[in-house]
Chain A
Amino acid sequence: MASRQYAIVGIGETSYSRKPEFTSRALAATAILRAAEDAGVAPETIDGMLAHGMNDTCGCQVVAGDIGTRLDFHMDCLAGGAAVEALVGVAIGAMEAGLCEVVAIYRAMNGFSQVRTGGTTAQTPSGPHASGDDIHTKAHGWSSPAQMFAPAFMRHMHEYGTTSAQAAMVKVVHSEHAARNPKAIYPQTVTVDEILASRMIAEPLHLLDCCTETNSGTCLIVTALERARDLRHPPVLVRAAVGRACKPGSAMYYQYGSPATTAGEHAAKLLWRHAGVLPQEIDVTGAYDAFTFTSLMLLEDYGFCAKGEGGAYVSSGITRLGGERPNNTSGGLLCEGYSNGMNLVIENVRQLRHDVDDDCPLGPDGRRRHSHDHGPQGRCRQVRGAQFAANLGWGTPGMGSALVLGRA
């Protein structure tokens, strides 16, 4: 482990939108400048940058120039899901090695208006343009994330008796959370029946089992804890990070063992050993909900319930605001917007600051006066007294990342 402790000190985001308004370059600059302002650091103190994308974003050197800083360290990483948690760990490693002192991690994407997750774009509407092992998948008309991951969920249903109605509860709960989030692209609550009646995309995934692709820029600023104490918000300590841990042969996630179990089974061992807390002590989770099933499987594999009991767990009320351990209180990727997961970490940083940006009234000091009313009419999404949060990232069923955060 690191010799110093590190904290997330700044968070920044643009709107989550389906309008083609800004370039990924402009989205990146806006998100970073908002995160710097949120942290209370001058943009020129950012001397490290980490960006990730799938050939759909703007690189660090251009963006650093746009925000007027000079970098001592940067990396542009080819990665989509399960990147943000890993990059928090990479940022800590870079600072431990003396490469830089203040790192901005960003994801900027026009996920709706430009490159879509199926690999199609306005410029190249057809596929497949296959290379290497792609021909074993794309040539079978099998390429988008929904299509690729659906067999893992099908196997989970077969092995554990998980039902579509149980998975749908993930979306139901997250939609209730989104209804308290002015930023959410889908603030309407939905029912299990509505989800099951929505058209089928790739069995067992219905349309409303899938998140919505959006255009957004998001940013985290990470620095050493001793530096963090002088900044604007209470620092949020990074207690543990796991970066893109894999199952054997994970390039084809279905080859080894059961695809009903994710790489979380491996990542969890590292995560809880380093975090110094147990799953039962976590107050709020951010389990990647690109699909309803992804949250359900990750919560199992990181030990929030027994393996195979994810369907019961997400249907029990535990993951709801007011429940024992709410999940994705912003509405998540399903309802707030899709940013490859950085918005799920941003939400948990706000939870640990006790400063979630819901509809509760602002006090004279500019901070919200949270009602903690999580009833049907309540407008609050702050978890009372949250001390520890976990983010569980999904790359594929065979690869994942995770973070445990806590109040310093």
Chain B
Amino acid sequence: MMALAGSYLGMDLLVDDIDEDNAAYFGHCAAGRFCLQSCAACRTLRYPPAPRCPVCRAAESAWRPITGAGVVFTYTVIHQATQPRMKPHAPYAVLIVELDAQPERPLRVPGILVDDRCMPLRATGPRDWGIGTRVRMRFARADAEDGIALPVWSLDR
């Protein structure tokens, strides 16, 4: 057990009881790498980070670099932010992206849709994206003493 603290877009992030799997995952993100656990027994990739393989239940795994690319599986555009620090960024989109990796057992990673500066894309006006659009992962570096970076998505063009 350990704690991670930082801020993202001026929003305080405190993860006060992060488990070692999530700590390792966000540690890779902070280094600019997207990695997932690959089961040591059956090689299945899993997301979110977890202590056992959901297919064969094995505990051993290795972190494997994954191409952070996929298609928008579904999404929402949030017009009314709940968290006060997100209000200036609304309307912003939260995408659930199905990774290209392991299509036979899909992995879906949520994240904010960002612009070229890695800031939340303001989803006003006409849209040229939606379900099925290709996106690429970037890392929004949180301003963090322990180093957190959040996976976010940008349009792949």
- Determine whether the beta carbon of B94 is less than 8 Å from that of A141: yes
User: Which residues of chain A from 234 to 254 have a CB within 8 Å of any chain B CB?
Assistant: 248-249, 252, 254
Distance of A254 Cα from B48 Cα, bound (Å)? 12
- Determine whether the beta carbon of A132 is less than 8 Å from that of B18: yes
Contacts of A188 on B, CB cut-off 8 Å?
none
Minimal Cβ-Cβ distance residue in B for A249: B54
- Determine whether the beta carbon of A143 is less than 8 Å from that of B82: yes
A152 sits at the interface (CB 8 A): yes
- Determine whether the beta carbon of A131 is less than 8 Å from that of B17: yes
Interchain CB contact (< 8 A) of A142 among B22, B91, B94: B94
Sort chain A's interface into a size bin.
Answer: 35 or more
Question: Given A151-B76, A154-B75, A259-B74, A133–B112 Cβ distance below 8 Å?
Answer: no
B78 sits at the interface (CB 8 A): yes
Contacts of B76 on A, CB cut-off 8 Å?
142, 147, 150-151, 154, 202-204
Minimal Cβ-Cβ distance residue in B for A147: B78
Interchain CB contact (< 8 A) of B79 among A138, A201, A255: A201
Q: How far apart are A159's CB and chain B's nearest CB, in angstroms?
A: 9
Question: Given A132-B19, A135-B22, A141-B112, A201–B94 Cβ distance below 8 Å?
Answer: no
Contacts of A140 on B, CB cut-off 8 Å?
94, 110-112, 150, 152
Among A133, A135, A137, residue most surrounded by chain B Cβ atoms (within 10 Å): A135
Mask for B52-85, Cβ within 8 A of A = 1, else 0? 0010000000000000000001111111111111
Question: Given A128-B83, A137-B110, A141-B83, A155–B74 Cβ distance below 8 Å?
Answer: yes
- Determine whether the beta carbon of A202 is less than 8 Å from that of B150: no
Mask for B89-113, Cβ within 8 A of A = 1, else 0? 1011010100000000011101110
- Determine whether the beta carbon of A254 is less than 8 Å from that of B96: yes
Contacts of A144 on B, CB cut-off 8 Å?
82
Distance of A119 Cα from B152 Cα, bound (Å)? 23
A161 sits at the interface (CB 8 A): no
B26 sits at the interface (CB 8 A): yes
Binding site for B on A (CB under 8 A): 118-120, 125-144, 146-147, 150-152, 154-155, 158, 199-204, 248-249, 252, 254-255, 259
- Beyond A158-B74, A203-B79: 7 further Cβ-contacts under 8 Å? A126-B11, A128-B14, A132-B18, A139-B11, A140-B94, A141-B86, A155-B131
Q: List 5 A-B contacts (CB under 8 A).
A: A133-B22, A135-B26, A147-B82, A147-B94, A255-B107
| Closest A-B pairs by Cβ, 8 of them | A150-B76, A141-B86, A155-B74, A151-B74, A203-B77, A118-B82, A200-B79, A142-B94
Binding site for A on B (CB under 8 A): 4, 8, 11-19, 22, 26, 47-48, 54, 73-86, 89, 91-92, 94, 96, 106-108, 110-112, 120, 131, 150, 152
